[in-house]
Structure formats: structure tokens, C-alpha cells
Amino acid sequence: MYKLRFTLLLILVCSGYSFCQVGIGTTSPDPSSVLHVESTEQGFLPPRMTALQRDNIASPAEGLFIYNLDSSCFQYYKGTSWSNCLGEMASNALDCSSSAATGSYHTETPLNASNTITIDVLVNVIEPYTVSTNTVNGYSFSGSGNFTSVGVNTIVLTGLGTPIANQTDTFTITFANNGDVCTTDVAITTVFSNCLEYLNIGATTDGVYTIDPDGAGPINSYDCYCDMTNNGGGWTLVFNHNTSGGYWTNDVQSSEFNVGSPGLTTAKYSILSKLDEIKSTANYEFRLHYPTLDLTNHWRQAFDPRSGASGVNPVVGYVGIDIAMTNNSWGGLELSGGNTYLDGTVSSGNWFYSIGSVNVWNGGIPSNSEAVNSVQLFVR
């Protein structure tokens, strides 16, 4: 009897070994599975090990599955090497540390193409994107497009609106694709009405400044070149002519040209049309400078030189302050017409001290008594 029972047990074990399935948490394992695990309270925990322990497995079988503690991910053996991490689905993510605002921001000054926020996105999936900010202090930023390559992509968000108050604004940048958010700060500063006001608050560097002649009034702010070092500083460049850029077509062009490109390197630049917006007193205080001669006339006059030809020499309200050139009937500036827009040869048939030369004189521009290739006029 004992031998019979042992034989039957051996037959059952062998039969189970050859054909049976193992079910854990179930009495009806799926017919296609060797091992079927079910639970609503516990999970399946595979072998966990470091990368060194994984690499010490002798002759791993193809398909061997482990959890890598060093990389915090699942891996399987591909027959010749271990797979890369089997992680979450690849997605794109904002790099918050890269966000930065560009451009100048001023109260009552509409944002333009230079006002942007840039931020890097780590791209794993090529897809369309939308990145935007909330609206703060009257303005906001947004950008959309298509990622073109994996890796780091720099996204440019374009600004829209007009800052209302002088303050530091904190923007929340939202990546619509996955809900990532970052923050970045933008500082709003006050715009002054001319270069002299900037000088009076401590600005001492020559260069381009944004001015707003009437504050919250209808005149939009614009950029000007400020000379903060010569003749006391605070000078706004209103005219620059270098003959390398040619000559002026007519008085209209001489009055206003290349307004968006202020500076001494712009060969033909004029904002003479804005004299009354920029000057800081009732009278006009001018500085006429010839770079190649290193000569300057600094004076004041009540007479608007654009209004017509002066009937007297010097012009009405003329006060010389620092005059280096007096040849050819110098007496301030008046409307000329013909060969040039304005000139300093008051009540004379000559057109020396030319501002807006339409014609060439001896190969250049008439100055004190000779031809030069450049002339600058400032006001304050």
C-alpha cells in the first residue's frame, strides 16, 4: 500500500511539472500563462539590484528582467546587452533656469519686437507647442510653433501690451503641452522726456536711451542717442550726416529720417521734426559739432530755425555760449532752402554750417570755411 501511494504521488508531481500552471491569488490561471498573479492590495516586485550586481549575473538569459536601483528603472537582457531604462513615456519639459526677459521695459511704452522672454525646452518628442504667460501690469508674452529637433530648443515668447506702473512684474510661464510652469521677473522703469533729464538723475554714459516727451500723453516713446560727456552732457542727437551715406533728397527727408536708428554711426539720421518735443526750455539750446575738425559751436536761440529765414543776424534770442567757428556770417541757425535745409550763414547768400546738404560743395559739406564729410547737431 505504501509503495502504491508513493507511485501515485510521483506521477502527480511529474504530471504537474509537465503541464500544470501556477496561480497566485487566483484558482483559475489564464491558460496562456505559466504564472498568473492577481491582487488588488499588493503589487508584483521583481528582483531589485544595483548596476554592479546586475552585471555580476552569470550568463543572464535573454529576457531576464530586473529593477535597477541606481537608475530607478526596469531593464531586461537583450541577449547581448542590457536594455536602456524602461521609463515613463518621453515628454518635453521646460528648463526654468534658462528663462530670461530681453529688451527695455518702460511705463506707458508699448512693447515691441525687442521685448521677449526666452526659455529652453528639453525636447524628446517632435510636436507643435504653445507657451504663454499670464497678463501682469497690462502686458503678457506668448509663443507657438513646432519643435524641429530633439534636445534643447530655445523658445521665444513675444511681448504684447503696455506696462502701466513702474514696478517689478513676476510672470508665470505655462507650457500648454504638459502643464509645466516656471516664473520670471521683468523690471519696469520710468522713461524720461529727454537726455538732460537722464543726466540729472545720474546717467553718465553716452548711448541710446528711450525718451517719452509727454509722459502719459499721446506721443509714443522712442529711442534717441544721448551725449552725456561733451559740453556738460545731456545732449539729444537730432541730426547726423556722413557723406558716406549720400546727400539728402529734400527738406522733408532732412527733417525726419531713420528715426528708428539713432546714433553716430547712422550716416543719415534726423529728428529735427521733434525739436519742440525734446528741448528742455522755451529757447533752443544747440550744439553744432564737426568731428573731423573737432570744432563745436554751443549757443541758444529763441528763433525756430525751421520756421523760415531770419531777417536779422544773429537770429532772434541768440546767445553764444562756446563758439569755435565764426566765419561766413555765423549767427545761429535759420531755414535755408535750395542747397541745404538749415544753415548758419545768417542773412547771407552762402550756405555754410550746412544741416541737410542736398548738393555737394567742394566734395563734401560746407562748414566753417572748408568742406567736411560729417556734421552733428544736438539739442537740450
Can you give the pLDDT at residue 12? 45
The answer to whether residue 19 scores a pLDDT higher than 60 is no
pLDDT of residue 89: 66
Determine how many CB atoms are found less than 10 A away from the CB of residue 196: 23
- pLDDT tens profile 271-308: 999 999 999 999 999 999 999 999 999 999 999 999 99
Is the predicted pLDDT of residue 9 greater than 50, yes or no?
no
User: Of 84-93, 102-111, 234-243, 336-345, where does mean pLDDT reach its minimum?
Assistant: 84-93
- My answer on whether 266 and 219 are in the same domain is yes
Residue 49 domain-assigned (yes or no)? yes
Cross-strand pairs, 149: none
Q: Is residue 2 part of a domain?
A: no
User: How much of the chain exceeds pLDDT 70, in percent?
Assistant: 93
State whether 131 and 55 are in the same domain: no
Q: 24-38, 190-204, 286-300 — which one is most confidently predicted on average?
A: 286-300
Residue with cell 549767427: 331
More confident residue, 114 or 207: 207
The candidate with the shortest Cα–Cα distance to 286, out of 249, 246, 330, is 330
Query: What range does the domain containing 358 cover?
Result: 195-379
Residues 347 and 374 in one domain: yes
The reply to whether 262 and 167 lie within a common domain is: no
Question: Which is higher by pLDDT, 25 or 123?
Answer: 123
**pLDDT for res 304:** 98
Query: For the chain, how big is the Rg over CA atoms in Å?
Result: 39
351 assigned to some structural domain: yes
Q: Residue 311 belongs to a domain with what CATH number?
A: 3.90.215
Of 34, 64, 87, the residue that ends a domain is 87
Per the CB < 8 A criterion, the answer to whether 297 and 330 are in contact is yes
pLDDT at 38 over 70: yes
* Beta pairing class for 35-37 and 222-227: unpaired
Check residue 20 and give its pLDDT: 67
Please provide residue 141's backbone torsions phi and psi, each rounded to the nearest 5 degrees: -140, 150
How confident is residue 2, by pLDDT bands cut at 50, 70 and 90? very low
- Same domain membership, residue 74 and residue 166: no
Q: What are the residues facing 174 on neighbouring strands?
A: 132, 181
Alpha-carbon distances of 64 from 44, 72, 207, rounded to whole Å: 15, 17, 69
Same domain, 82 and 98: no
Amino acid at 340: T
Give the alpha-carbon dihedral of 243, 248, 254, 256, to 10 degrees: -90
Is the pLDDT score of 342 beyond 90? yes
Per residue, the 3-state secondary structure of 115-143, as one string, reads: CEEEEEEEECCCCEEEEEECCECCEEEEE
How far is it, in rounded angstroms, from Cα 184 to Cα 368? 55
Statement to judge: residues 115 and 140 lie in one domain: yes
CA-CA distances (angstroms) from residue 247 to 260, 341, 365? Answer: 19, 11, 9
The SS3 assignment for 229 reads coil
- Widest CA span in the chain: 146
Beta carbons within 10 angstroms of residue 287's beta carbon: 23
The values of phi and psi at residue 356, to 5°, are 105, 45
User: Is the domain of 79 the same as that of 165?
Assistant: no
Q: Which of 150, 169, 187 is the last residue of a domain?
A: 187
Q: Shortest CA distance to 139 belongs to which of 162, 116, 156, 117?
A: 162
pLDDT, tens digit, for every residue of 72-95?
Answer: 888 999 999 988 877 666 689 999
* HSE value, Cβ hemisphere, 13 Å, CA-based, for 280: 18
pLDDT surpassing 50 at residue 152:
yes
Whether residues 278 and 344 fall in one domain: yes
Region of 252 on the Ramachandran plot (φ > 0 left; ψ -120 to 50 alpha; else beta): alpha
Looking at residue 98, its pLDDT comes to 96
DSSP states along 250-319: SHHHHHSB-TT--STT-SEEE-GGGHHHH-SSSSEEEEEEETTTTEEEEEEESS-TTS---SSSS-TT-E
- 206 with 355, same domain: the answer is yes
> So what's the pLDDT on residue 87?
67
**pLDDT at 346 > cutoff 90:** yes
- Percentage of the chain surpassing pLDDT 90? 73
Return the pLDDT at 319.
98
Do 219 and 75 share a domain, yes or no?
Answer: no
CA distances from residue 365 to 133, 151, 166, 218 in whole angstroms, order as listed: 53, 56, 45, 37
| Domain containing residue 125: CATH number | 2.60.40
Q: How far apart are CA 346 and CA 135, in angstroms?
A: 56
What confidence category does residue 190 fall into, taking pLDDT thresholds of 50, 70 and 90? Answer: confident
Give dist(CA 78, CA 82) in Å, integer.
6
pLDDT of amino acid 30: 87
Where is 7: in which H helix or E strand?
A: helix 2-19
- Residue 5 counted as domain residue: no
| Number of domains making up the chain | 3
pLDDT bin (cut points 50, 70, 90) of residue 14 is very low
Among 187, 213, 240, the domain-final residue is 187
- Cβ neighbours around 134 below 10 Å, total: 12
Specify the pLDDT at position 333.
98
Instruction: Work out the end-to-end distance of the chain between its first and last CA atoms, rounded to an integer number of angstroms.
Output: 124
